[in-house]
Amino acid sequence: MSDSPSTTESRPVVDLRSVTFGYTATPVVENVSLQVEPGEFLAIVGPNGSGKSTLMKLMVGLVTPDEGTARLFGEPARSFDDGERVGYVAQHASASKEMPITVREVVRMGRFPHVGFGRLSADDEAVVDRAIETVGMSAFTDRRITQLSGGQRQRAFIARALASEAELLVLDEPTVGVDAESVGAFYDLLNGLHDRGITVLLIEHDLSAVANHAGRVVCLDREVYFDGPAAEFADSDAVARAFGGAADLLGGDRS
C-alpha cells in the first residue's frame, strides 16, 4: 500500500539516528542524529577531514552505518532505490573534464531512471530542455563538457539532477574550482531551485556563502558541534571549536 500524501509530506527526507561510521576502527562520524525536512536548505560545514562527505554518503545510502540508522524518504537509505527522487552532484564534479560528451547528453542521463534502457520520448526531451533552460545553459546545449568552464560544468550536472525531477538536490562542495563570479550565479540558481520547493543538502567550504544563503547549518567535526539557523551560526562557539580559531565568515574559503 502506498503512503498517503499527508504521510509522505510529514516524513523527513533524511533521518539519521545515532549514526556512527568509520573506514577503520576509528570513527569518521560519531553518534550523529539529524533530520532534514522537506523544503529545507541545509548546509554542512567543517574542517578538512571532519567527516562531511562521509555524512553525505550516509544520508543518501552510499555507505551503511556501523551503528544507528539512516533513512531516506522513510526507507533504509542503503536499500533506497527510487533514484529519480535524489539528484546527487559528487565532489569535484565541476572539475571533471574526462567526458567528451555534450551538455545535452549529460542532462539526458537524468531521464535514465525513468526510462531505463528505452528511448527518450518527446516528453522526456521536453523535460531535458526545461532543465537546461532553468540553469541558463541553453546556449551551450551542443557544447562538449570538456569545453566548458568549471561553473558551466557545475550547471550542466545540476541540470542532469533537475532532469530526473529530483525532490532532493545533494551537492558535495559544488563551488570548488569555480571562479568567484560563477559562485554568485550558482547561488542565485540554487536559491531559485529552493524557492521552487526542492530540498537542498549542501556541503560547502565557503562559510560566507553558507551564512548568506543556507537556512540551516550543521557544523561537524566527527560529531555535531552546531545544528541550527544559519543566522545563529556565526555567533556560536562552533566555529572556533571546529576550525580551531575564530573563522572569518565574511572571508570565504576555510578549506
Residue 250 lies in a domain: no
pLDDT of residue 91: 63
H helix or E strand, kind and range, residue 131: helix 122-134
- pLDDT tens track for 48-92: 899 999 999 999 999 999 999 999 999 999 999 887 789 888 765
Long-range contacts of 34-39 (CB under 8 A, 24+ apart): 34/218, 34/224, 34/227, 36/12, 36/199, 36/201, 37/12, 37/13, 37/199, 38/9, 38/12, 38/13, 38/167, 38/197, 38/199, 39/194, 39/197, 39/199
Quote the domain boundaries for residue 48. Answer: 5-243
CA 139 to chain centre: 25
CA 159 to chain centre: 13
pLDDT of residue 21: 97
Tally the domains of the chain. 1
Strand ranges inside the chain, DSSP E: 14-21, 29-36, 41-45, 67-72, 75-76, 86-89, 168-172, 199-203, 216-221, 223-229
CB 164, CB 83: distance < 8 Å: yes
H helix or E strand, kind and range, residue 234: none
Residue 253 lies in a domain: no
Residue 249 lies in a domain: no
Residue 40 lies in a domain: yes
Residue 200 lies in a domain: yes
CA 186 to chain centre: 13
- Residue 39's φ and ψ, nearest 5 degrees, are 85, 0
The Cα 85–Cα 234 span in angstroms is 32
Q: What is the residue-level pLDDT of the chain in tens, covering all 255 positions? A: 344 444 445 789 999 999 999 999 999 999 999 999 999 999 999 998 999 999 999 999 999 999 999 999 999 999 998 877 898 887 655 545 556 789 999 999 888 877 766 788 899 899 999 889 988 899 999 999 889 887 788 888 888 888 888 899 998 887 776 777 777 888 888 888 899 899 999 998 888 888 888 999 999 999 999 999 998 988 888 888 888 765 454 344 433
Question: Is 175 in a helix, a strand, or coil?
Answer: coil
Give strand pairing partners of 175.
Answer: none
CATH number of the domain that residue 120 is part of: 3.40.50.300
> Cα dihedral sign for 147, 151, 152, 153?
positive
Which residue in the block uniquely carries the three cell numbers 551542443? Answer: 142
Which residue in the block uniquely carries the three cell numbers 542521463? Answer: 109
What does the angle CA 148 – CA 199 – CA 66 come to, to the nearest 5 degrees? 95
Residue 33 lies in a domain: yes
- pLDDT tens track for 209-233: 888 889 999 999 999 999 999 989 8
The Cα 99–Cα 74 span in angstroms is 35
pLDDT of residue 93: 56
Q: How much helix, strand and coil, in percent to the nearest 5, is found in the chain?
A: 40, 25, 35
**Cell numbers found for residue 113:** 531512471
Residue 251 lies in a domain: no
Residue 254 lies in a domain: no
Other Cβ atoms within 10 Å of 101 Cβ, number: 13
